[in-house]
Structure 1
Amino acid sequence: MTSIPLAEELLLLAYDDQTGKATGSRIGLDLGMAAAVLVDLALAGRIAYVDGFLTVNDPTPTGDQIADAVLARAAEDEPHTPAQWVQRLRHRLRTRVLEDLIARGVVRDVDETQMEFIHVHRYPTTDPHYEAEIRVRLTKALTSDEIPDERTAALATLLTATRMEPALRLPPDESARAHQRLEEIASGAGFSGGASLEDSIVRPSVALVVATLGRAISAALGAPKPA
């Protein structure tokens, strides 16, 4: 199956398949999706982290509408830090991603009226194959010592940064090990300072972008609440 943008992968993991409701932190998801668009551009070799800013090094469109709109905006605008970009991009991004998923028949829009005039939208899954593929990749990464590919490593790191581990729906006795493995992946990729960029399991240019975006998300969310 053709891979889908990382922002879509995060959203599908965050929404309950049956109820169609978002689980976990809404702002965490929005920040993570904004970062995911930028990570996809880094994976495609379009942007890089240089002297504290995300800069465009190749303005050629990628073929993804949302990513290309961000790329064109970044090419025309003055440079911004990773923290500035995730804040600038997170507004209405979820709506645009949901519209794309609805148009492709991956989820459906259930519009319910509450208290006679309040509209509440749910997005239950229509085509489960995309999310199933995502979970297979993550499960393999979390349960084996194999080195994950760049996209899966980046996705795992975004899940940690946005504190979306509950979206993995693991039994309690497996959650601790999964969290440890997520941190190992981030460290091995050079995303958390645990490995030099020369030893990174992903391209150093990508590792720099993901690392800085992860820190920006963590700073925006603040210290986690005590368990």
Structure 2
Amino acid sequence: MNLTLAEELLLIALDDRRGKLITSSDFSIDYCLAGALLFDLTFENKVILKDKVLVVVSEEKPQDSILRQAFDVITKSSTPENLQYWLNELCEKIPGLRYALMEHLVAKDVLYKVEKKLLKIFSNPRYLPKQGESEHLVRTRIREIILHNKPFDLKSVMLIGLVNAADLVEEIFPALNDLKVARDWIKQIPRSQKIHGTISETLEEIQSAVNASINVPIIVRT
């Protein structure tokens, strides 16, 4: 099954037993998901990064409904803006982005939704894996790339970068030795000679914008 980068990231961020987001990712995940949407749009040749701003290069809307929402937000702007601006805009203009993606995965038969009423009034839904192989395949792909030097593509590298930004590396590499290898591999991403071209530049800029967006509230509090 073909999943978007945002969907793959969300599967990793979900606690399979609780059906909720892993606590460590709760603050950063929306920015990371927005960054994943921007990469997906770039990968589909809908937008490109040019002179540090995002430029629409195709009038054809994406088939994926959530990517379509993100694309509509961007195309309604009268002026080009930088990536950090669009991260904030997507988080604001697509309310409940994480839940929208979860519902999307329910529709794709990857997750199933369990409704639980609190005090018989408030709904407290949980999203549990229906086809465990989807997340397993994503995690295995990342582990094979980092631990066994398997070939990788730009989507996988971007996923690894966003997993790191969302503080989820330990979820994929629980063993200390593997975790050290993973962190060392991630540090080498910007210097890798295997990653090049316009999309790789966009990848690096998206990662920088996500990290900046995550760190802004921390700076304000200190």
- Per the normalisation by structure 1, the TM-score is 0.85
What is the CA distance between 1:203 and its match in structure 2?
4.8
- Note if 1:220 corresponds to 2:213: yes
Which residues in structure 2 correspond to 1:43-192 (within 5 Å)? Answer: 43-77=43-77, 78-90=79-91, 91-184=95-188, 186-187=189-190
Name the structure 1 match of 2:18.
19
Gaps of 5+ in 1: 188-193
Aligned length: 212
Show CA shifts across 1:11-59 (max 9, x none).
1001011221210221311111110011011111221111221111122
Q: Is the 8 A contact 2:145 2:152 kept in 1?
A: yes
AA matched with 2:53: F
What is the CA distance between 1:142 and its match in structure 2?
1.1
Between 132-141 and 170-179, the greater mean CA deviation after superposition: 170-179
What is the CA distance between 1:117 and its match in structure 2?
3.6
What CA distance in whole angstroms lies between the structure 2 residues aligned with 1:147 and 1:7? Answer: 21
What CA distance in whole angstroms lies between the structure 1 residues aligned with 2:196 and 2:100? Answer: 29
Name the structure 2 match of 1:8.
7
What is the CA distance between 1:127 and its match in structure 2?
1.1
The 3 A distance-change label for structure 1 pair 105 and 206 is same
Q: Is the 8 A contact 1:54 1:79 kept in 2?
A: yes
SS of the aligned residue for 1:157 comes to helix
Q: Is the 8 A contact 2:13 2:25 kept in 1?
A: no
Q: Is the 8 A contact 1:8 1:97 kept in 2?
A: yes
Higher relative contact order (CA 8 A, sep 6+): 2
What is the CA distance between 1:3 and its match in structure 2?
2.2
SS of the aligned residue for 2:73 comes to helix
Q: Percent identity?
A: 22
The 3 A distance-change label for structure 1 pair 203 and 65 is farther
Show CA shifts across 1:154-173 (max 9, x none).
11111122222123152223
Q: Is the 8 A contact 1:59 1:71 kept in 2?
A: no
- Tell me the C-alpha RMSD between the 2 structures: 2.0
Between 161-170 and 173-182, the greater mean CA deviation after superposition: 161-170
Show CA shifts across 1:123-169 (max 9, x none).
11111121111112111111123441121111111112222212315
- Per the normalisation by structure 2, the TM-score is 0.87
What CA distance in whole angstroms lies between the structure 1 residues aligned with 2:61 and 2:122? Answer: 39
Gaps of 5+ in 2: none
- Note if 1:39 corresponds to 2:58: no
